[in-house]
Structure formats: C-alpha cells, structure tokens
Structure 1
C-alpha cells in the first residue's frame, strides 16, 4: 500500500517575510500530521531569496518539537557541503530527542558553485560523494573495523537511528543507493524523463544491507491543487512565474502572488520553458491530481509518494494538502 508524505520549501510569499514563511511551514507540518500523512520533510536551498528553508536540521528540530508522531526529515541534506561526521552528530541529536521519528534524506545539490565554495573554503581535499555516504553509515549505524575513523564515535550514543534515504534524479544516484543498500527517493518533479530506468536500475542492482533488506522507492511530485480547475490553473501560473524567476539573473526575494502572475505577460521563450516545466507538475482538482499521483505511483511501483505543494499562499498550501488527503483517502490508508 502506497503511503503519502509532504515536502515543504518554506516559500516566502509576496508581501510576507522569512519568519512567517518558517512559521507557515510549522503550521503545515501540524496540519499534515492531523491529516494522516506519514512524513513531513523540509528542503535545503541556498542563495534562493524566495525560500527560507536553508538549514533543514535546525527547522527539523523545531518541527519535531511542534508535532507528536509524524516523521520529520530532510529532503535533503546536501552532503557535499558538509562533514559526514557533523551531519551524523546533528541527526543523532535529533533522533535522541525524537526517537523513531527522524529521516535523513541525503542529496547532492547541483546548486550554485559559489555556495559550495563558501561551505568548503577552508577545507583541503574533498571526499567523493560515495565515500561521504559510507562515512555517514559508519557514524550512524554501521561502524566498520577498518574505517579510517574507527576509533571515533559520533555522539550521542543512542539505541535508535534515523531512517536514511538517498535522493536523486537519475541512474547515477540510483546506482549509489542500490550499492549502499539504501532507500531511494526519485525526484520525479525534477526530471520525470528517465525516472523509470533509474528506479528499475536501483531495484535490479539493490544490495541488501543492515540499513535495508529489500529495495524501497519513494517518488516526489509537484502538486497544484484547488477546489476548481480554474483556481488550480491560476495557482499554476504563479508557480510558472516562480520557476522562471529562480532561473533568472535577478530573481525577486519572494514567491510571486497569483495577481502578479496573471498581470504579467510571457515571451515566446518563457512560454516554451513553461510548457516544459508543466511536465513536472500535476495541476487540477483534488480528484484529478489524486488520480495522476496514483497512476504515477503505480507506474513506478513506488512504496511512497512525497507531495510538494509549492504554490503561492499559506492558506492555499494547507487547503491543497487537505483536499489531497481526502481525495487519496489517506486516513483510511494509514
């Protein structure tokens, strides 16, 4: 049976600010818990002025304190920016305070080189991504006798461990997840083309490990949902403009309002980009979007679907996940 999750970027809506964006994320997590969603994840974005979610571990602690039983996770920690030892200790602290509720989603961000440079400016030779993941496993749950830091313990010492997921958009990440014996979260919202091949490669080459005995697949999707198709289309136009803005040379420090998007014209090049981006999202009424999500999950044979309700307005985001929870019959499924 497929289970459903929410991932929030903490968008800064036009006319609002970063503080309120983070507070809205908190309310969304509380709402998702009441609606029956299994997990609530938050993202890590740097140098994107319209998103407040830059430090998932910090936000996760607040969200875990603000909720009771929903799993809280990172979607994800961009590992090339950090020390695996420090990431392991951050998540050990989270898990110690909220046992069996913490997810560590690991990613390899293609974001600004300047960000990675600032994160690693004083460091020497960088580790490979695969080595970093092996180190995380060593420090969190699978100490190896021959590891170069075999005499070093990630603190605190606790009885439970966070659930680990590898995020990706292609066969490279799928191969790593399979080789490492990790659960795999495919970003259908990023690159839907090639997704079936990546997930198939993951399943066919999965190597059982102490982390996971058999393959486990999650897909993530953008969902623009409203009571009517017309309202959903209006929200989608604002989403179109936001996606265009984050790729521009001077993006605004906010997620554009629906009125802003409707009042703006688009060039021929922008309309072509919008047409391409629309392939990355499901738009419409709750019943329509729920059917598209179910169909996509079935195609991937996914165990879980993570829904990203990245639309303008905190009320619209809350309403959207509530409408989907009902259309997907999540309470019954849970």
Structure 2
C-alpha cells in the first residue's frame, strides 16, 4: 500500500451514555490504534452538539499523546475563527515541548458550529457586530504564521509580542478544507492539506490535484502531503456493517434538521419512520460513507486513494457500540496488513 492510514476522532456520545465515557473511549481507541500501527490520531473541534464530546481538542491531545507511544497526535482541527492566533501557537508549542516530534496542528476555516454558537464563542468580530463568517480567516492565519515564524514587520501593533515558549518549534501545520481555496492556499504556502470527505459530497479529486500541482516546498514539507478524511464502518459482513452505519445516518438527519442528539442505537435507527425528505438526507449521507466487510472496504479505499492521489487516508468511524467501533479499526488494520513497523507514516516529522 502506497498510502498511510490514520484516525479522526470526534469522541461520539451514544444514547444512554455520557461525555465522560465518550472521552474515556477516545483514550481506549487511541491506545488500540497506536498498537495496530495507524499513523496519526487527530481530534476534531465541534461545539453545541450533544453527539460530540470533542469541543476542546487541544486538551484531549495532551491526554492521548501521554497514553500512546508512537502515533502522531493532532488537531483535526483547531477552528481558527474561534481562537486567538497567539494562543493557538503557544498551546501547540507547549504540546510540542511535552511530546516532541509527535504533534500535528490542523487548522480549519469554519467555526465548527452554528452561527449563534459561533457568536457565543466570544470572537472579537462577533462582539463588534461584524458577523461570524470566514472572511477574516486570511488575516487570522497570517497572524498565526507570523507568531510561528519571523514575527511581524516594523510598526505592526503586535511587533513586540512573542509566542512562548519561543525556543520550541511549532508542529507541522495542515490546512483543512473541502474546497479549492484551502487546497490552493495550502499548496502555495508549503503546508500539509487535509480534505474533509467524511462530511462533504464534493468530489475531492480536483482539490487534491490543485494542491499538489500548486505545491511550493517549505522547510517543514519538502513535498506535498495530502490527507483524505473518510467515514468508514467495517464489520465481518456487509449486512452487519450496514446495521452499524444506520446510527450515524439517523444522527445526520437529526443534525441537519436542527434537532441533534446523541448517537442512536442501530435498533432505533433501523426502525425510525423516515419522512421522504428525511430519507433523502439519510441517503445523501450514506453516499459519503464507506461501509462493508474488510475486502469491500479495502477495495473502495484503495480506489479512492488512487483516484485522488491521497498520501494518507484518515478514517473516522462513528457507531453506537464502542466495542464495534474498536473492531472496525482492527478489521481495517488487518485488511491492509499494517503494523507499527510497517507502512505507517507516523515516523515522518510531517
């Protein structure tokens, strides 16, 4: 296999469970995939969603890195509109100091939530009545890069501000997105790029191609490094995989309909009386998943990686039962015959 396998975790909260259990499950899964040989373990940032406990990835990253030995641990990602760039740089320099060579910094343009919640996150623009769009992202990102690099030009208001600790290198930066804008920007700046195919119906191929064709080498990334995040459910049989995947389909419908809740059981999901409009939403989400037995899942992932030119496939699996979730990652590792000393990309600096 000429691509790596990694993990994206949102710390899903199942019906009848709670966020504390979901976060303990995250540590459990991280230890498992570290031993299996997956290359990275990234934590997402989402807000105001009862199904997701991962609202502070920068906190969980430290716990996961302490509980594992080899896997790279990172944010997938930090939603920059919600944070002061100075604080992001300082947080990830501290993480890098504690876990040298094992931390990644993925940066996203969106707030990772609804507009009202984005305003409640106390962004200065929102407080000033300037709205909560992604228009200010280029300025925020330029500020982050200045703190991480050579600083600000003479006369800049923040010229005298240094991100501490200033004797620690910032981890590799990956730009997250599902559009050509993020792909081109990542390539031009010599950053890593991650395409969010796990929730986007957009064909990732044009964006991945634009990133690689426009890539300019940097001191951190000497060559383009493209991650493709995909939603996967792998089980012993196609039928069982489809049953497990039904939970997320119903959760997606509820989220898109404005009534999000915890991840329902397969029994509830399979017995749910979908309206025609809801069924269309469920079918749309189903088309974004890779669901099946190990051979079928491997074939689809290999085709997708080959078609898009992905250097790494990052898998997110959200099913109701934690043991089934663990087993899905085990079956995938077995299907691709990965091992801690095998084809993993975790040992690279980036």
What is the TM-score with the length of structure 2 in the denominator? 0.90
Alignment length (residue pairs): 332
8 Å Cα contact 2:247/2:266 also seen in 1: yes
| Structure 1 counterpart SS, 2:198 | coil
* Structure-1 residue corresponding to 2:13: 12
Q: 2:122 aligns with which of 120, 123, 144?
A: 120
Would you say 1:172 and 2:164 are equivalent positions? no
| Structure 1 counterpart SS, 2:121 | helix
* Structure-2 residue corresponding to 1:32: 33
Q: 1:286 aligns with which of 290, 294, 302?
A: 294
Moved over 3 A (4+): 121-127
Give the Å deviation of 1:211: 3.2
Give the Å deviation of 1:212: 2.1
* Structure-2 residue corresponding to 1:146: 153
Residues 121 and 95 (structure 1), Cα distance of their counterparts in 2 relative to 1, 3 Å cut: closer
Residues 282 and 121 (structure 1), Cα distance of their counterparts in 2 relative to 1, 3 Å cut: closer
**Counterparts of 2:82 and 2:99, CA distance in 1:** 25
Q: Which runs of 5+ in 2 are unaligned?
A: 345-350
Deviations 1:165-205 (A, max 9, x none): 00000111112212222111011222242311111111222
| Structure 2 counterpart SS, 1:330 | coil
**Counterparts of 2:8 and 2:203, CA distance in 1:** 22
* Structure-1 residue corresponding to 2:254: 245
| Structure 2 counterpart SS, 1:50 | coil
**Counterparts of 1:42 and 1:286, CA distance in 2:** 25
Q: CA RMSD in A?
A: 1.7
Give the Å deviation of 1:159: 4.0
Would you say 1:215 and 2:215 are equivalent positions? no
Give the Å deviation of 1:96: 0.6
Q: 1:195 aligns with which of 189, 204, 219?
A: 204
* Structure-2 residue corresponding to 1:330: 338
**Counterparts of 2:215 and 2:138, CA distance in 1:** 15
* Structure-2 residue corresponding to 1:75: 76
Give the Å deviation of 1:262: 1.9
Q: 1:317 aligns with which of 314, 319, 325?
A: 325
8 Å Cα contact 2:176/2:196 also seen in 1: yes
Would you say 1:307 and 2:315 are equivalent positions? yes
8 Å Cα contact 2:89/2:170 also seen in 1: no
Deviations 1:230-253 (A, max 9, x none): 11010111121011111122222x
8 Å Cα contact 2:104/2:171 also seen in 1: yes
Q: Which runs of 5+ in 1 are unaligned?
A: none
Deviates more, 1:237-246 or 1:21-30: 237-246
What is the TM-score with the length of structure 1 in the denominator? 0.94
Deviates more, 1:54-63 or 1:122-131: 122-131
Deviations 1:48-90 (A, max 9, x none): 1111110000111111111122111111000011110000001
**Counterparts of 2:242 and 2:75, CA distance in 1:** 29
Give the Å deviation of 1:272: 1.4
8 Å Cα contact 2:44/2:57 also seen in 1: yes
8 Å Cα contact 1:99/1:160 also seen in 2: no
Would you say 1:230 and 2:239 are equivalent positions? yes
**Counterparts of 1:121 and 1:276, CA distance in 2:** 33
**Counterparts of 1:325 and 1:21, CA distance in 2:** 22
* Structure-1 residue corresponding to 2:347: none
Give the Å deviation of 1:121: 5.0
